[in-house]
Structure 1
Amino acid sequence: MSIDYSLKFKVLSDARGKLIALEGGRQIPFDIKRIYYLYDLNDLPRGFHAHYKLKQVMICLNGSLRVYLDDGKGRKENIELSNPQEAVLIDNLVWHEMHDFSKDCVIAVLASDYYDEADYIRDYSIFEKAIRER
């Protein structure tokens, strides 16, 4: 795959527990403008889209899931997220899907911009066209 999708965060730990601090432009490779989270998920896969401009970092805070990424040059399947110290960087123009959520799965997503429906590519053939025109 032509993108480096994995991130690993530094954990600060002592007798009280563990802490991970995330800052835009430091551990997160962009300024954070939106945070959202998913929980109480069922067996239905999610995602199935890309973004023209938006970049995201996906962190599984609890439980586990599998992530599929496609940047038009290569595909990475079965990326397992199950550790809050690890994350997936989803760059712009990367098709992504999420599958196989554990019952206790909680996913946090840090986004580089505010929600904009016009930035979504929800049709794979349009995604392929956008890649070719890049």
Structure 2
Amino acid sequence: MISAHSFQEIPFEVQRVYYLYEVTEDRKSGYHANIHNQQVMVAVQGSFEVRLHDGVAAQTYLLDDPQKGLLIREGIWREVKHFSPDAICLVLCSEQFEEGDYMKDFGAFVEWKNKTIHSA
């Protein structure tokens, strides 16, 4: 059994949980950034890749161990792809779903990040 608790293994209070399953290998998910929402992604079964971009550089992670999660902070672009046929992706969120929290245009995201970095 694996367990996780808000503010212990998960660094925020979990406000929403969802999962992706029966995903075809060629399906892509994500392709957005959240302004406020943080997430922890876990490969409960199978595997998939998560590419994160902070507006300057990108890093790709292979999730294939249900005992490990990937923390995605707010303001980070994510792309989820290369799902194995049996993949189940569990996502724990710090916020309720709010459409206005999503940035779905990569160019606009990079511009927003540059403004955020330079105004800090």
TM-score by length of 1: 0.83
Looking at structure 2, the residues matched to 66 and 125 of structure 1 have their Cα atoms a distance apart, in angstroms, of: 22
Q: Offset of 1:74 from its aligned partner?
A: 2.1
Aligned residue in 2 for 1:49: 32
Matches within 5 A, 1:103-118: 103-118=85-100
Q: SS in structure 2 opposite 1:80?
A: strand
Aligned residues: 115
Which structure's CA Rg is the greater one?
A: 1
Pairing partner for 1:80 from 57, 62, 71: 62
Structure with more of its chain in helix, by fraction:
2
Give the aligned residue type for 1:81: L
Tell me, which stretches of 5 or more residues in structure 1 are unaligned? 1-18
TM-score by length of 2: 0.92
Identity %, equivalent residues? 35
Runs of at least 4 residues of structure 1 off by over 4 A? none
What value does the CA root-mean-square deviation take over the aligned residues?
A: 0.8
